[in-house]
Structure 1
Amino acid sequence: MMRPSFRRLLLGLSLIDILLVASIPYIAGSSEDVGDTADLPPKDVSSVDDDTSSLPFVLVTGGNGLVASNLIMELLQRGYHVRATVRNPSKVSHLRTLRNSETKLEIAALDLKEKDVQVYRALLKDGIDWIFHVAAPFVDDLPQSDETMEMAVQSMTLLLQAAAQESSVSQVVYTGSDSAVVYGYADNPIKADPNYIFTEDDWTNVTCTKGMTDYAKMKTLTELAAWEFVEKHAPNFRFSSLLPSYILGPLVSDTVTSSKRIVYEIMAGKYPGVIDLYIPMVDIRDVVEAHFRAAMQSKEPAGSRWANQRRRFLLTRKKGKDVFFPEVAGILKDHFGPMGYSISTWPIPNWLLWIVSLFDSELATMSQMLGVGENYDNTKSIEVLGLTYHTNATEIILETAHAMIQQGLIPKKKGYQARGISGSDEL
């Protein structure tokens, strides 16, 4: 997730907007007509057993983030007792409104700058069974310092050390990123061969300065440190790392994260046009389900060809290349244009973005990816975790936008209708 840097993309497109001025048919979306925010529709929890006393006690780090918020919602709905860590416990209002939060949700403070393993051990008291490590000390997609990188690795290592000292912990699941797979190749960020198929065996090359982002470096170093610890110390718990691509869908978090930014900026009318990029995506519901399945497995499926490999899983909705950026804008325009949203689908020439990229290294990385989409292989997640992905790109994209409108992140126009969503499976 968080690939490429869409805040930097927005900056680049803003510069293009200034350069072209009158030549771009672009009308910024209005911020007027903001209606009351509506609650997201509740999930079906009819299958939850009333007796949940035997369910694992779960720790979720980074509790107010995009993935963690949805994960906590699902854990609570299924009856799990959750201890969620956040840097600032006063900023968890959306978690306090979740079903069962009054009786089954604990909030604990954790600053990832913490260097004392005993602080992490204290988080595991009372018999924590599962750990979902979702937190990352990363401020959106801004440039990061070496200190931030070290903090990410340090917090991962300290948590694993604490877990290894607690006999109750049986599963640790780390929320990584596909950024730890596809970056850092000298000739091109997605390797010299555009038909190369990325799998869990691939690792981002953090020593390569060309075609590298801070986020990719941070996620790669953190995951490498985790695997080094696990393979050196052979702890009693089972470790898995999940590597999602762009996470979209009905998201609970009420902030504009980088994964949501691509839809948010298009809907807000802040792009002067669309560029020649591919967007590998995965539905948040599939990411959450992958966390459950990784934690619930005590052993690999019988006869699995991955039985002796690292439990590392690429999470993406389809095998091969995914949806094209202009197609994303087209889907949003077709659906929301009649409701009063101004959405540009004007194709920005590659040469123009290339000129702007001369002044920004991360935009330069992005310019190398124009017109070339990554081929992903999600077979391992399907065969080992048993995932059945939401594959309808149209529905995933539209549900993302509707969720943000209902949360008040995107203005609710007078013509807005929370109508049924349907779309083709062909994208």
Structure 2
Amino acid sequence: MSGELVVVTGGTGFVGAHCIVRLLEAGHRVRTTVRSMARADEVLQLVRAGGPRAAASADGVEVIAADLLHDDGWPEAVAGASYVLHVASPFPMRQPADENELIAPARDGVLRVLRAARDAGVRRVVQTSSFAAVGYGHAADPGRPYTEEDWTDPDGRNVTPYVKSKTIAELAAWGFIDREGGDLELAVVNPVGIFGPALGQQLSTSVELLLGLLNGRAPAVPPGTTTGVDVRDVADLHLRAMTHPDAAGERFLAVAGDPITFHELAILLREQLGRDAKHVPTRVLPRWLVRVGALVNPELRAVLPQLRRSQGASHEKATRVLGWQPRSTDDAIVASAESLVRLGRVKP
């Protein structure tokens, strides 16, 4: 119960809201940023949905406006903070035509946060990066699970604007710390696909994918695999990376276990949710059809990198260094789906 002030950027986001919940449960004071104060009440609603312990402290959460594309507001946002969890970053369902729509806010945003944090005497920033900065753009899988030593080649084949933005942003953060970070420490969390319970109507991209399956938006599931982790465990890893003395200067993969095929995911939903999953398709799209469809469909284009990879990744470092123990991928996926049913998002 330190009572130290922690700033969370992007408090209305899927990961950001869960980080606030976890911080309040741990006894921290919390300030969070939103792009517009019109969303301030939304933050508090999400926190209250996170459980009774967080709900009891929700009114104490301070909300301040700060935009990743502008300098205004960031000095005020981090003033007096011991730590910053820089979670805010765009993750679209559709890839933009201009990759700089994602790269600029991701790269310039993290530099604004780091610069403000350094100037304010913040002890450590934890940046939410992604597996996108680890396992893409290579000619082939490394023949072993990906680890924190691996880096995406942003100029590699089938690297989407989102993947490039996360890689460039993380590289920019480490470069800033090396060149001009002063006493500021940096730790980075690199999650795979994030599932787990939704706290409100604003959904993550991974949970949106589940919602599409549950509502039968497509006649079949794509081929390929995905890896997953529960958002509650991602928030827990942020807190561990925030305070553990051995986390400074390190990156940590947040992954629950082995890859799961989209077909296995669909079967899991059918088995665990019963009638609530009656619209979930179990047929698999042929690979050639995905490739053809990707020529005109941005969502299918984003699936292309998954067709020839297992995306196996290891959480050995997070477990060894920080004592992190994630839930299973199956549990995370089912928790997502059950929350969507509770929220009334799944059609009868």
CA distance 1:193–1:173, shift in 2 (3 Å):
closer
SS in 2 for 1:100: helix
Q: Tell me, yes or no, if structure 1 residue 182 matches structure 2 residue 135.
A: yes
Cα displacement (A) at 1:311 = 0.5
Paired with 2:304 and 2:99, the residues of 1 have a C-alpha distance of 24
User: 1:164: Cα distance to partner?
Assistant: 1.2
Cα shift readout 1:393-422 (whole Å, capped 9, x = no counterpart)? 3322211111112122223x4xxxxxxxxx
Q: Tell me if 1:121 matches 2:54.
A: no
Residues 1:354 and 1:255: Cα distance change in structure 2 (over 3 Å): same
Equivalent in the alignment of 1:206:
154
How far residue 142 of structure 1 moved from its aligned partner, in angstroms, is 2.9
Q: Residues of 2 paired with 1:111 and 1:361: CA distance?
A: 27
- C-alpha deviations, 1:266-311, integer Å up to 9, x for none? 10111211222111001111101101101111236xxxxxx9xx41
Of the structure 1 ranges 99-108 and 285-294, higher mean CA displacement relative to structure 2 is found in 99-108
Shift of 1:225: 0.6
Q: In proportion to residue count, which structure has more helix?
A: 2
Q: Partner residue of 2:255?
A: 316
Which position in structure 2 is the counterpart of 1:164?
Answer: 118
1:235 to 182, 204, 225: 182
Q: In the alignment, which of 215, 232, 241 is matched to residue 285 of structure 1?
A: 232
Structure 1 residue 216, shift from structure 2 partner: 0.6
Q: Which amino acid counterpart does residue 265 of structure 1 have in structure 2? A: G
Q: Deviations over 1:213-241 (max 9, x none)?
A: 11111111111110001011242232101
Pair 1:172–1:253, CA change in 2 (3 A): farther
Give the alignment's TM-score, normalised by structure 1: 0.74
Q: Is 1:394 paired with 2:345?
A: no
Q: Which residue is equivalent to 2:294?
A: 357
In structure 1, how many angstroms separate the alpha carbons of the residues matched to 2:189 and 2:66?
A: 22
Q: 1:74, CA displacement in angstroms?
A: 1.8
Please tell me the root mean square deviation across aligned C-alpha atoms, in Å.
2.2
Q: Does 1:149 align with 2:103?
A: yes
Alignment of 1:72-91 (within 5 A): 72-91=20-39
Deviation at 1:107, TM superposition (A): 0.7
Give the aligned residue type for 2:264: E
Aligned to 1:343: 280
Asked if 2 retains the 8 angstrom alpha-carbon contact of 1:248 and 1:260, the reply is: yes
Extract unaligned runs of 5+ from structure 1.
1-51, 186-190, 301-306, 414-427
1:220 aligns with 2:167: yes
Give the direction of change, closer, same or farther, for the CA distance of 1:102–1:346 in structure 2 (3 Å limit): closer
Stretches of structure 2 that go unaligned for 5 or more consecutive residues are 49-54
* Offset at residue 341 of structure 1 (A): 2.8
Give 1:253 deviation, angstroms: 4.0
**How big is each residue's C-alpha offset from its partner over 1:33-68, in whole Å with a ceiling of 9 and x where there is no partner?**
xxxxxxxxxxxxxxxxxxx5x421010001100100
Distance 1:63 1:360 in 2: 31
Structure 1 residues 196 and 254: alpha-carbon distance in aligned structure 2, compared to 1, 3 A threshold: same
Q: 1:328 aligns with which of 255, 265, 274?
A: 265
Contact 1:70 1:253 in 2 (8 A): no
TM superposition score normalised by structure 2: 0.90
CA separation of 1:244 and 1:234: change in aligned 2, threshold 3 A? same
8 Å contact from structure 1 (residues 141, 258) kept in 2:
no
Distance 1:148 1:262 in 2: 20
| Aligned-partner residue type, residue 152 of structure 1 | A
Cα gap change, 1:345 to 1:66, in 2 (>3 Å)? same
SS of residue paired to 1:165: helix
SS in structure 2 at match of 1:182: coil
- Percent of aligned pairs sharing the same letter: 30
CA contact (8 A) 1:112 1:137 kept: no
SS of residue matched to 1:388: coil
Higher RCO, 1 or 2 (CA under 8 Å, sep at least 6)?
A: 1
Partner-residue secondary structure (3-state), 2:64 = strand
Matched with 2:321 is 384
**Mapped contact 2:147–2:253 kept (Cα < 8 A):** yes
Identify if the C-alpha distance between structure 1 residues 360 and 194 changes in structure 2 by more than 3 Å, giving closer, same or farther: farther
Distance 1:141 1:180 in 2: 19
Aligned length: 339
* Distance in 2 of aligned mates of 1:155 and 1:339: 40
Q: Give the counterpart letter for 2:243 in structure 1.
A: M
Q: In structure 2, do the counterparts of structure 1 residues 165 and 203 end up closer, same or farther at CA, with 3 Å as the change threshold?
A: same
- Counterpart check, 1:65 vs 2:13: yes
- 2-structure distance, mates of 1:103, 1:255: 20
